[in-house]
Amino acid sequence: MTEASSVLDRRLNAFRPDLADRRLEGQVTAERFVEGTLRRVTAASTPIRRAPRPDGAIDSEALQGEVLRVFEETMEGWAFVQLETDRYVGYVAADALGPLDPLPTHRVTALRTFVYPEADLRKPPLGALSFGAKLALGGVAVTRGTPYLLLANGAGAVVETHVAPLDAPWALDFVAVAERFLETPYLWGGRTSLGLDCSALVQLSLAAAGIDAPRDSDLQAAMLGEALPDGLAGTRERGDLVFWPGHVGILADPETLLHASGYQMEVVAEPLDEAVARIAITAGPPTAVRRIRFEA
């Protein structure tokens, strides 16, 4: 590879010795460069793996409705992809992907919602969608007083109060969004309300407030908000992000840390001082505190 390719982050740039994103031509050495094809996630969610194997490490997840650029599909059923949402690169199951149409019209705002075969909560659900998933909805139906929206492809219905149009106002307080995930199990690489990790909690909560965030905590520490020079010793505010090597948490208030904890194995709100002391044993003191300012 060229010297330039050696410093490109493989999480955010799709390249291998044999294949690379055409947009990287001149920056990396590869046997061939391809444009890639845009596809949409049609599964409820799908793991993004580091290697094209069922036992490959899960680095992240793609949610229904998100768009990926597919650079290769293998005979074994794997796709080498880059997620358009946060540029994350990896391998997903090819059968989790479909065409771009129909275009999503709504996003899931409940922590999770069931997809029913028809507008009736008494019918066995076809599956469930997590917070942040996007779907194309068309008609309206009301059954026994409960309003539903019908999937545009005719494949089912969801409860209307669990979704919002894509152009609906953003959440005003991303910390309040994060607090809804309390007691959600910790899952390395997880990005759904069934299980998520520390940086996914930050990313999903900020997305609900209309703020794009990178996937991993080191990238968030480099790209989100502004660094507070005094760290935790300075004035703390709700929403400040506290970073350690490999970890991030959100200040729910100046004395409380909200985070997806691999120690408690769930999303918790705990005294900040206790968290700092415990994490220091393995990771040292916080490396940065960053503040996000945005117009509601």
Mapping DSSP onto H, E and C, the string for 112-172 reads EEEEECCCCCCCCCCEEEECCCEECEEEEEEECCEEEEEECCCCCEEEHHHEEECCCCCCC
Summarize the confidence of residues 34-48 as an average pLDDT: 98
Would you say residue 30 has pLDDT above 60? yes
CATH classification of the domain holding 128: 2.30.30
CATH classification of the domain holding 87: 2.30.30.40
Query: Which domain range does residue 149 map to?
Result: 106-165
Would you say residue 41 has pLDDT above 60? yes
Q: Is residue 296 part of a domain?
A: no
Looking at the structure of the chain, the number of domains it has is 3
pLDDT for 40: 98
The verdict on 26 and 118 lying in the same domain is no
pLDDT for 155: 87
C-alpha 204/C-alpha 212 separation (Å) is 9
The verdict on 267 and 250 lying in the same domain is yes
Omega of the bond leading into 102 within 30 degrees of 0 (cis): yes
Summarize the confidence of residues 36-56 as an average pLDDT: 97
pLDDT tens profile 172-230: 999 999 999 999 999 999 999 999 999 999 999 999 999 999 999 999 999 999 999 99
In the predicted model, what is the mean pLDDT of the chain? 96
pLDDT for 35: 97
Contact 118, 177 (CB under 8 A): no
The residues pairing with 73 across neighbouring beta strands, listed in sequence order, are 79
Summarize the confidence of residues 122-132 as an average pLDDT: 97
C-alpha 295/C-alpha 26 separation (Å) is 39
The verdict on 120 and 13 lying in the same domain is no
CATH classification of the domain holding 210: 3.90.1720.10
